[in-house]
């Protein structure tokens, strides 16, 4: 059963205001990358993992193995999603160009020409990229992460140049590419084109925390933690019902995740997080992606705090807490 926990939105505002005044990152909500010492202090009996602690072991969660479940959940056809393999020659040029792109927020003219020449002209299925982009609206991401932090390029992809421009100016993306290359230089690196949905709003998204050792749901938070909850204006009884329906639908999706061929004993033992978007009327959910779990990971705690709320997030307290800001 869902236990609705309301965080006063003015407390979130105060944390953000203090961050703005002091220029120090707030550490009240959405915490990431805690130290092993911090984690072991509150949960000394548990084994704590940093996802990229051992680069020789691929311990982070990739999009590719879960793509079929994501597509089914979102009602997408196989032909709606496109995969582009990035050749080594392009990756070498991209890594070089990104050193300037990330620092100055732009790509030099000579680097732009080299990237354009080296970037694939077709998808893995053989579709012409330029034609594809002109016919539809897409957003792009890598196996490891989205490119939402890209300095250049917002909204749907407009041209093929948008693809490599966003790659070259995304710190998240470049870190992901370097991680994959470091883990296995022979591993293919893909960029994905997924349908752009105008109605897919971050205020309708939630993050579901599934701790080790079994990967059961322990906690849920609204994803856009720095804004009031989408259902903030609803009466409290209706808010309770919304939280319960949300949990029930997340549990149905969770069963599919646990039964999926990409689920492993290792992933259960390390825990995982999955992000969903809801239908605001019914709380039906669609899967967006899976992420690494844990206080030492880069996965944000949203309205939780990985250390202060460790017992809740690691499933050691009664019930399943759903946190929202009102």
- Rounded to whole angstroms, the Cα distance separating 91 from 102 reads 15
Condensed to tens digits (0 to 9), the pLDDT of residues 25-67 reads 899 999 999 999 999 999 999 988 876 666 555 567 999 999 9
Q: What is the model's pLDDT at position 54?
A: 60
Residue 53 and residue 39 in contact, taking contact as beta carbons nearer than 8 Å: no
Q: What is the model's pLDDT at position 168?
A: 92
Beta bridge partners of 325: 7
Beta bridge partners of 291: 273
Residue 85 and residue 188 in contact, taking contact as beta carbons nearer than 8 Å: yes
Q: What is the model's pLDDT at position 52?
A: 63
pLDDT in tens, the chain (326 residues): 999 999 999 999 999 998 888 878 899 999 999 999 999 999 999 988 876 666 555 567 999 999 999 999 999 999 999 999 999 999 999 999 998 888 877 888 899 999 999 999 999 999 999 999 999 999 999 999 999 899 877 889 999 999 999 999 999 999 999 989 988 899 999 999 999 988 779 999 999 999 999 999 999 999 999 999 999 999 999 999 999 999 999 999 999 999 999 999 999 999 999 999 999 999 999 999 999 999 999 999 999 999 999 999 999 999 999 999 99
Question: Is pTM beyond 0.85 here?
Answer: yes
Give percent of the chain above pLDDT 70: 97
Q: What is the model's pLDDT at position 177?
A: 94
| N- to C-terminal Cα separation, the chain | 21
Residue 65 and residue 262 in contact, taking contact as beta carbons nearer than 8 Å: yes
Condensed to tens digits (0 to 9), the pLDDT of residues 130-181 reads 999 999 999 999 999 999 899 877 889 999 999 999 999 999 999 999 989 9
Residue 52 and residue 179 in contact, taking contact as beta carbons nearer than 8 Å: yes
- Rounded to whole angstroms, the Cα distance separating 45 from 39 reads 10
């Amino acid at each position: 059963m869902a236990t609705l926990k309301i965080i006063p939105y003015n407390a979130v505002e105060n944390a953000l205001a203090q961050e703005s005044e002091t220029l120090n990152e707030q550490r009240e909500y959405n915490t990431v990358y805690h130290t092993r010492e911090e984690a072991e202090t509150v949960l000394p009996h548990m084994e704590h993992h940093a996802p990229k602690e051992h680069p020789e072991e691929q311990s982070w969660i990739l999009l590719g193995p879960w793509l079929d479940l994501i597509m089914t959940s979102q009602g997408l056809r196989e032909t709606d999603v496109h995969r582009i393999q990035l050749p080594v020659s392009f990756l070498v040029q991209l890594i070089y160009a990104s050193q300037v792109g990330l620092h100055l927020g732009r790509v030099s003219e000579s680097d732009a020409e080299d990237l354009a020449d080296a970037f694939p002209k077709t998808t893995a299925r053989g579709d012409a990229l330029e034609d594809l982009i002109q016919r539809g609206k897409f957003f792009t991401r890598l196996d490891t992460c989205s490119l939402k932090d890209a300095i250049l390029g917002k909204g749907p992809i407009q041209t093929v140049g948008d693809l490599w421009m966003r790659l070259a100016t995304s710190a998240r993306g470049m870190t992901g590419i370097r991680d994959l290359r470091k883990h296995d230089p022979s591993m293919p690196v893909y960029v994905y084109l997924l349908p752009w949905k105008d109605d897919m709003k971050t205020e309708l998204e939630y993050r579901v925390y599934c701790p080790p050792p079994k990967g059961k749901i322990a906690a849920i938070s609204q994803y856009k933690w720095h804004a009031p909850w989408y259902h903030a204006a609803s009466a409290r009884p209706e808010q309770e019902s919304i939280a319960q329906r949300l949990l029930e639908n997340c549990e149905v999706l969770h069963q599919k995740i646990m039964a999926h061929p990409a689920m492993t004993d290792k992933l259960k033992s390390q825990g995982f997080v999955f992000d969903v978007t809801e239908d605001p009327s019914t709380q039906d959910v669609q899967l967006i992606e899976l992420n690494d779990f844990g206080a030492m990971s880069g996965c944000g705690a949203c309205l939780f705090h990985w250390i202060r709320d460790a017992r809740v997030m690691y499933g050691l307290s009664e019930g399943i807490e759903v946190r929202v800001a009102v």
